[in-house]
Structure 1
Amino acid sequence: MDKRGKRIIYVSQCILNQNLRFPGIAIESGAISELLIPIMKNGIGIESMPCLERLGWGGVQRTTFFKYFPMISKNIGSFKFPIIKFFLRSWLKKYKNLCKKEAKKIILQMQDYHNSGYTILGIIATNDSPTCGYTQTINFLEIISKFKELDIKGEFENPTLEKMKIIIPRLCENGSGYFMSEMAKQIKRRELKVDIIGFNIWNNLAEEIEVVLNKLNLTV
């Protein structure tokens, strides 16, 4: 026997490393320590889920997104837009397949933990993401239309935290992102008892952390 506690929490990778966030929306220089330290003090192991946007959107700098975004933004409402939207749907289909593939890998890890007598206390998912959002997400197909509705122009081409902390909450809507939707399906299919908790990063941080810890039945 050793000291392992056999309790695990999975988190979105950007909670451990804000450097992976979409440009302009990192709220910390590194980890969100205010959330992670209480988890660690409770003797719980932390597993990171992969950042799918880094894998599928062109790395840390999201080069694929920024390569095509100006063209998409410029042609909102034009005769070219239905064609652009068609190609965007094709790209999203490939991205969803990536999310499905990676979700299966995580579920196999969880199943291994379960079979070995460990307890998965839950998943903490970053709630403002089109990928990892659980109760709040951004609909990638509708976001472009919302730019015109909300009079958002060049903010995404040169994103800063000051701009994005106003814009991102306005773009969010109820629902789950591509990766968390797939995770929820796989958890249900495998009959695993794993709760997913949406972490609303743009709320009052101290209050939001308290909400998350309470849902996990952890003391601060």
Structure 2
Amino acid sequence: MDEKMNQPSKKLVAVSHCILNQNAVIHGWERASGAFPFALELLKQGVAMIQLPCPEFITLGANRPPMTYEEYAQIPNYRKICRDLLLPILQQIQAYQQEGYEYLGIIGINESPNCSITGQRGVLMEEFFSLCEVFAISSDFFEVPVWYSEDHQENMTGLLDQFMERG
């Protein structure tokens, strides 16, 4: 067997939890039957994924109601919960970088109260980027557009390629 085939690409991204697990999404708001299909494209290109935890699911469970950024931000100790969940993730990214891996950035969910990066940044992403500063990790980003779903993938591959080329 060719040894080169078994060598990792040494490229990785951090991804919002629901990208790989739509079961964590508020019931009725799912956009794919399991994981977002573009995750397969990343895997085909040899990009490893570090899945962020879902603080919404962990804190409020599967049957939670839809909530806004402001409502999540007002939950007592919610930011601390987010930071505590994110610390091991940032430690992993830092450890990979120290071993020569290329961290391409994070993939969030546009307009999510926790995982949005542009516009009103989500609570989890505020904490993520704050911890990136503490860990001296530069993090590019990409957001899953609100129009994207398993049935409406449009130019997602092209958008992802642009993101990965920046890294």
Q: Is the 8 A contact 2:14 2:52 kept in 1?
A: yes
Stretch of structure 1 that moved more, 198-207 or 4-13: 198-207
Q: CA deviation at 1:97?
A: 1.4
Higher helix share: 1
2:72 and 2:140 map into 1 onto residues whose CA distance is 30
* Partner residue of 1:31 out of 35, 42, 50: 35
Q: 1:186 is matched with which residue?
A: 131
Q: Is the 8 A contact 2:18 2:54 kept in 1?
A: yes
Q: 1:103 is matched with which residue?
A: 86
Q: Which runs of 5+ in 2 are unaligned?
A: none
Q: 1:140 is matched with which residue?
A: none
Q: 1:164 is matched with which residue?
A: none
2:27 and 2:12 map into 1 onto residues whose CA distance is 29
Change (3 A) 1:216 1:93: farther
Q: CA deviation at 1:198?
A: 1.8
Q: 2:62 is matched with which residue?
A: 60
RMSD over equivalenced CA pairs, Å:
2.5
1:31 and 1:89 map into 2 onto residues whose CA distance is 24
Matched position secondary structure for 2:77:
helix
Q: What whole-Å deviation, never above 9, does each CA across 1:100-156 have from its counterpart, x for those lacking one?
A: 211222111111111122111111011221111111xxxxxxxxxxxxxxxxxxxxx
The one-letter code matched in structure 1 to 2:42 is I
* Partner residue of 1:128 out of 105, 111, 121: 111
1:45 pairs with 2:28:
no
Q: Is the 8 A contact 1:199 1:212 kept in 2?
A: no
Q: 2:158 is matched with which residue?
A: 210
Q: Is the 8 A contact 2:20 2:36 kept in 1?
A: yes
1:17 pairs with 2:4:
no
Q: CA deviation at 1:8?
A: 0.9
Q: Which runs of 5+ in 1 are unaligned?
A: 70-84, 136-173
* Bigger CA radius of gyration: 1
Residue-pair matches, total:
157
Q: What whole-Å deviation, never above 9, does each CA across 1:68-93 have from its counterpart, x for those lacking one?
A: x8xxxxxxxxxxxxxxx9xx688524
Q: Is the 8 A contact 2:11 2:101 kept in 1?
A: yes
Q: CA deviation at 1:21?
A: 0.7
The one-letter code matched in structure 2 to 1:217 is E
Change (3 A) 1:22 1:187: same
Q: Is the 8 A contact 1:13 1:50 kept in 2?
A: yes
Matched position secondary structure for 2:32:
coil
2:83 and 2:157 map into 1 onto residues whose CA distance is 28
Q: What whole-Å deviation, never above 9, does each CA across 1:14-58 have from its counterpart, x for those lacking one?
A: 11111111122101111111x11221111111121111110112x
When normalised by structure 1's length, the TM-score is 0.64
* Partner residue of 1:196 out of 141, 154, 157: 141
2:72 and 2:20 map into 1 onto residues whose CA distance is 31
